[in-house]
């Protein structure tokens, strides 16, 4: 950037997790800069993660998910323009063209540095009748779905297509509010980020909760009657449904930045360095639209999670504030994720067996079930643990946990081991917390580390 002088203008494209994390940090670090943000939607800085709970009625108002409203952001010194879409980006002239979506007018806005945080857009495909499906990738889309569910008392069944964590959370939310839900996916298992044996436990939790699960079925279309969704068709069946939610995944929204010359990597997301700088001078990027390094495999990945978006936004801000010489480096990701599905906690980190194979890492695995707490306590809970370690070195490569009790705490320990390349033979003696309500004297992860140490012929086996 060559030194951003006082009064220099930083433009932010997109005003949610990554963008507002960057903007708020910049205001704090460099109050002398002019920070302006353009957001095509009506909302800013909200928790997308809470949308399934809102659709299910656990959260009363969509506004409860908003962390900072446009007015609050403006009061903090961030000039947010909502319902304002960035339609062109000229990196040579350092200028964006924005369209005021209410007035229908376009104008140019200059910048000295730009933070591109346009997120990802849901995949819907172009199957017949797809316009009758709902996606829930913004608060506005969540409001639309909830309005349909609230307004109609004749809904007998809702179809959710896509059995990733978002589809699962939505199917559960629908059943919780008393609406029968059928969950459809073309894969033979739910949650493709888990190994099949672990995914089978999640599928059982869904079925026991009352979700109808149809796997190995590919969506072929949505049929409507009287302008309303009537059924979803797959290559194997027709499922009557009064509403359908498409949770088919999301692609990084890169078009504007790519047209401005920013390189796109093999994951389909923007290439950035550890300071979140794109390949074009003066443009930083963060969040769902960027590619990260997977610390275990070393390969490029696009992991769309709020936790990364928020951290990457801050790293970008530190770099801009320090005139392109920021002290923070985003190290990459290990693919850690946690959720609850129908009262069952599900968590994973590192590589799955298939991912390890793709990365050319030979692994040994252990899978076992145990109680989550001391088993003399009432309701000790059950957890199924799966761990993978590298043949030869013993480095922990991945872990997956499904069950009821302390799964979130344990996955963070495993994530730290994966990130630091801890070997299972060493992990056995790590100083982890113990008391009966939390686990056994030997934590489940240390039991797994011992099993893997033995399987791999490493020493010592404790």
Ligand X SMILES: Cc1cc2nc3c(=O)[nH]c(=O)nc-3n(C[C@H](O)[C@H](O)[C@H](O)COP(=O)(O)OP(=O)(O)OC[C@H]3O[C@@H](n4cnc5c(N)ncnc54)[C@H](O)[C@@H]3O)c2cc1C
> Where on the chain is the footprint of ligand X (CB under 6 A)?
13-14, 16-19, 38-41, 48-49, 51-52, 85-86, 117-120, 136-137, 166, 253, 256, 287-288, 304-307, 309
Shortest distance, position 218 Cβ to ligand X, whole Å = 22
Nearer to ligand X, 83 or 157 (CB): 83
Shortest distance, position 178 Cβ to ligand X, whole Å = 20
Nearer to ligand X, 56 or 394 (CB): 56
Q: What is the CA radius of gyration of the chain?
A: 24
Cross-strand bridge partners of residue 366: 387
Q: How far apart are CA 371 and CA 381, in angstroms?
A: 5
Shortest distance, position 284 Cβ to ligand X, whole Å = 13
E-assigned strand segments in 162-273 = 181-185, 212-215, 219-225, 228-234, 238-240, 243-246, 250-252
Give 458's Cβ-side CA count (13 Å radius): 21
Given 49, 262, 289, 418, the catalytic residue? 49
Q: How far apart are CA 265 and CA 45, in angstroms?
A: 27
Shortest distance, position 405 Cβ to ligand X, whole Å = 19
Strand, helix or coil for residue 360: coil
Task: Let me know if 342 is a catalytic residue.
Answer: no
Nearer to ligand X, 249 or 440 (CB): 249
Q: How far apart are CA 171 and CA 218, in angstroms?
A: 18
Q: How far apart are CA 162 and CA 133, in angstroms?
A: 12
Q: How far apart are CA 54 and CA 214, in angstroms?
A: 25
Shortest distance, position 357 Cβ to ligand X, whole Å = 26
Cross-strand bridge partners of residue 349: 399
Tally of CB atoms within 10 A around 226: 5
Nearer to ligand X, 143 or 253 (CB): 253
Backbone angles phi and psi of 108, in degrees to 5: -100, 145
**3-state SS string over 238-290?**
EEECCEEEECCCEEECCHHHHHCCCCECCCCCECCCCCCECCCCCEEECCCCE
Shortest distance, position 377 Cβ to ligand X, whole Å = 29
Among residues 416, 417, 379, 383, the alpha carbon closest in space to that of 400 is found at 383
**3-state SS string over 386-409?**
EEEEECCCCEEEEEEEEECCCHHH
Shortest distance, position 348 Cβ to ligand X, whole Å = 13
| Residue, CB closest to ligand X | 287
- Taking a C-beta distance cutoff of 8 angstroms, is the pair 363, 392 a contact? no
Q: How many residues does the chain have?
A: 462
Q: How far apart are CA 439 and CA 385, in angstroms?
A: 13
Give me the active site residues, please. Answer: 49
């Amino acid at each position: 950037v060559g030194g951003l002088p006082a009064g220099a203008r930083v433009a932010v494209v997109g005003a949610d997790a990554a963008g507002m994390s960057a903007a708020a940090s910049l205001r704090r670090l460099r109050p002398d800069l002019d920070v302006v943000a353009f957001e095509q939607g009506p909302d800013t800085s909200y928790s997308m993660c809470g949308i399934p709970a809102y659709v299910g009625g656990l959260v009363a108002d969509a506004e409860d998910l908003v962390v900072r409203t446009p007015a609050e952001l403006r009061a903090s010194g961030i000039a947010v323009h909502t319902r304002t879409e960035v339609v062109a980006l000229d990196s040579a002239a350092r200028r964006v063209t924005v369209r005021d979506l209410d007035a229908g007018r376009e104008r140019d806005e200059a910048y000295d540095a730009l933070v591109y945080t346009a997120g990802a857009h849901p995949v819907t495909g172009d199957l017949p009748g797809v316009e009758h499906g709902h996606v829930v990738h913004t608060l506005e889309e969540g409001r639309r779905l909830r309005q349909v569910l609230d307004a109609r008392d004749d809904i007998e069944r809702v179809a959710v297509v896509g059995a990733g964590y978002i589809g699962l959370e939505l199917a559960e939310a629908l059943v919780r509010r008393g609406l029968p839900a059928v969950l459809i996916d073309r894969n033979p298992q739910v949650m493709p980020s888990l190994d099949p044996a672990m995914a089978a436990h999640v599928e059982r939790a869904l079925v026991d909760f009352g979700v109808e699960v149809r796997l190995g079925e590919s969506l072929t279309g949505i049929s409507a009657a009287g302008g309303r969704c009537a059924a979803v068709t797959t290559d194997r069946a027709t499922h009557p449904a009064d509403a359908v939610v498409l949770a088919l995944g999301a692609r990084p929204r890169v078009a504007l930045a790519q047209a401005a010359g920013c390189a796109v990597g093999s994951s389909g997301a923007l290439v950035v360095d550890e300071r979140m700088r794109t390949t074009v001078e003066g443009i930083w990027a963060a969040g769902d639209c960027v590619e990260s390094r997977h610390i275990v495999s070393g390969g490029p990945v696009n992991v769309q999670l709020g936790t990364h978006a928020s951290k990457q936004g801050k790293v970008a801000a530190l770099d801009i504030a320090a005139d392109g010489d920021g002290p923070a480096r985003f190290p990459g990701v290990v693919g850690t994720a946690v959720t609850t599905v129908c009262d069952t906690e599900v968590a994973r980190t590192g590589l799955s067996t298939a991912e390890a194979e793709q990365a050319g890492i030979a692994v040994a695995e252990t899978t076992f079930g145990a109680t989550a707490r001391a088993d003399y306590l009432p309701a000790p809970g059950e957890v199924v643990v799966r761990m993978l370690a590298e043949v030869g070195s013993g480095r922990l490569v991945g872990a997956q946990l499904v069950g009821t009790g302390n799964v979130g705490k344990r996955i963070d320990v495993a994530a730290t081991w994966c990130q630091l390349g801890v070997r299972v033979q060493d992990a056995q003696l790590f100083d982890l917390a113990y008391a009966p309500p939390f686990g056994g004297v030997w934590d489940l992860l240390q039991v797994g580390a011992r099993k893997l140490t033995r399987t791999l012929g490493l020493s010592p086996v404790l």
